[in-house]
């Protein structure tokens, strides 16, 4: 045990955060996923806190056990783990196993929240704005996405890391409270709303069907549809694909292949195009 208290300064914490952000997936494999990423993220703290090689190995082993979560929101768990290791190294009665239990207990819920918030909500919303700004090939669209996403994510994950370090396990409260559940619900509403707009703007399908009635009037089906409900066919495609994926369990790849077959049939019959 250390006799003099060792504490981590701001620089060590920043190093831990950066190591985690960089290496979280760097050695991902099917059976270990982020485990060594977590270990590398703890390394700056472990090096400073434990001078005894045996304790170091034990700490590294503890943090190289199986781990997998959404890395950016998951920075909060790293903050907590760093905080707990610091307390443990200074002689507080914290069981190494308890730190691991905390990690394993949190990784599932945080992966759920993180995956639905970041790739499921924030990125699609920012991308749809970026895509709109990029109309006609304008460079503003990609730049908007690069700047806004990175600013939000870098500041956000750093803040969550520090919050986790300072508040310990209490900080998770923030992510699962009823207020944040409501906030997520409001955001998912925004996500669905924006997706409606994306579907209307980017899914394209038209029919080339034409009829000639008995009186010799040429009816162009697409023109007729455009007069009543433009973009009706794309809407039906989206609802149809959603139905087969959500209710019939069709995988994304199978959905793509099915659309390919349908499109080929449609083109061959001269209905689509």
Please give the C-alpha separations between residue 111 and each of 15, 75, 77, 145, in angstroms, as whole numbers: 23, 11, 11, 23
Asked whether position 138 contacts another protein by CB under 8 A, the answer is yes
Q: Which is nearer to another protein, 83 or 141 (CB)?
A: 141
Q: How many CA atoms lie within 13 A of 96 on its CB side?
A: 13
Which residues lie below 8 Å from residue 198, measured CB to CB, with a gap of 6+? 124, 128, 131
Shortest gap between Cβ of 162 and another protein (angstroms)?
17
Asked whether position 253 contacts another protein by CB under 8 A, the answer is yes
Shortest gap between Cβ of 248 and another protein (angstroms)?
11
For the chain, the 3-state helix, strand and coil shares in percent, each to the nearest 5, are: 75, 5, 25
Q: How far is CA 182 from the centre of its chain?
A: 19
Shortest gap between Cβ of 214 and another protein (angstroms)?
31
Please list every residue from 187 through 216 that binds another protein, using CB under 8 A.
Answer: 187-205
Q: Is the dihedral of CA 175, 15, 119, 146 positive or negative?
A: positive
Question: Measured at the alpha carbon of residue 258, what is the angle toward residues 255 and 263, in degrees to the nearest 5?
Answer: 125
Structure tokens at 59: 């700490």
Q: Which is nearer to another protein, 109 or 142 (CB)?
A: 142
- C-alpha 7/C-alpha 218 separation (Å) is 83
Shortest gap between Cβ of 30 and another protein (angstroms)?
5
Please list every residue from 153 through 172 that binds another protein, using CB under 8 A.
Answer: 153-154, 157
Asked whether position 224 contacts another protein by CB under 8 A, the answer is no
Asked whether position 264 contacts another protein by CB under 8 A, the answer is yes
Structure tokens at 240: 């149809």
Please list every residue from 49 through 78 that binds another protein, using CB under 8 A.
Answer: 53, 56-57, 60-61, 64, 68, 71-72
Please list every residue from 90 through 119 that binds another protein, using CB under 8 A.
Answer: 111, 115-116, 118-119
Question: Measured at the alpha carbon of residue 102, what is the angle toward residues 61 and 116, in degrees to the nearest 5?
Answer: 110
Asked whether position 151 contacts another protein by CB under 8 A, the answer is no
Q: Which is nearer to another protein, 60 or 167 (CB)?
A: 60
Taking CB under 8 A as the rule, which mask of x and - marks residues 16-45 in contact with another protein? --x--xxxxxxxxxxxxx-xxx-xx--x--
Site size for another protein, by CB under 8 A?
A: 113
Helix (H, G, I), strand (E, B) or coil at 209: coil
Q: Which is nearer to another protein, 224 or 260 (CB)?
A: 260
How would you class 32 by CB atoms within 10 Å of its CB: exposed for 0-12, middle for 13-18, buried for 19 or more? middle
Q: Which is nearer to another protein, 213 or 251 (CB)?
A: 251
Shortest gap between Cβ of 79 and another protein (angstroms)?
16
Stretch of 82-90, 96-104, 150-158, 214-222 contacting another protein, by CB under 8 A: 150-158
């Amino acid at each position: 045990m250390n006799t003099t208290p060792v504490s981590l300064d701001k620089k060590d914490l920043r190093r831990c955060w950066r190591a985690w952000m960089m290496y979280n997936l760097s050695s991902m494999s099917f059976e270990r996923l982020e485990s060594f990423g977590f270990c590398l993220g703890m390394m700056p703290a472990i090096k400073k806190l434990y001078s005894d090689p045996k304790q170091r190995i034990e700490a590294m082993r503890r943090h190289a056990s199986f781990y997998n979560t959404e890395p950016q929101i998951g920075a909060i768990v790293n903050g907590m783990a760093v905080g707990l290791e610091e307390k443990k190294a200074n002689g507080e009665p914290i069981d190494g196993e308890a730190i691991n239990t905390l990690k394993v207990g949190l990784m599932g819920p945080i992966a759920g929240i993180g995956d639905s918030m970041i790739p499921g909500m924030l990125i699609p919303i920012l991308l749809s704005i970026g895509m709109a700004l990029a109309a006609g090939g304008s460079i503003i669209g990609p730049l908007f996405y690069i700047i806004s996403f990175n600013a939000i994510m870098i500041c956000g994950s750093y803040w969550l890391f520090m919050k986790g370090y300072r508040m310990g396990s209490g900080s998770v409260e923030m992510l699962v409270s009823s207020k944040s559940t409501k906030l997520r619900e409001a955001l998912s509403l925004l996500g669905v709303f924006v997706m409606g707009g994306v579907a209307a703007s980017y899914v394209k399908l038209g029919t080339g069907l034409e009829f000639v009635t008995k009186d010799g009037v040429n009816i162009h089906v697409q023109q007729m549809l455009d007069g009543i409900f433009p973009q009706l066919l794309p809407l039906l495609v989206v609802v149809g694909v959603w139905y087969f994926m959500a209710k019939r369990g069709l995988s994304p790849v199978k959905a793509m292949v099915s659309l390919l077959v349908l499109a080929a049939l449609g083109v061959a019959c001269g209905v689509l195009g």
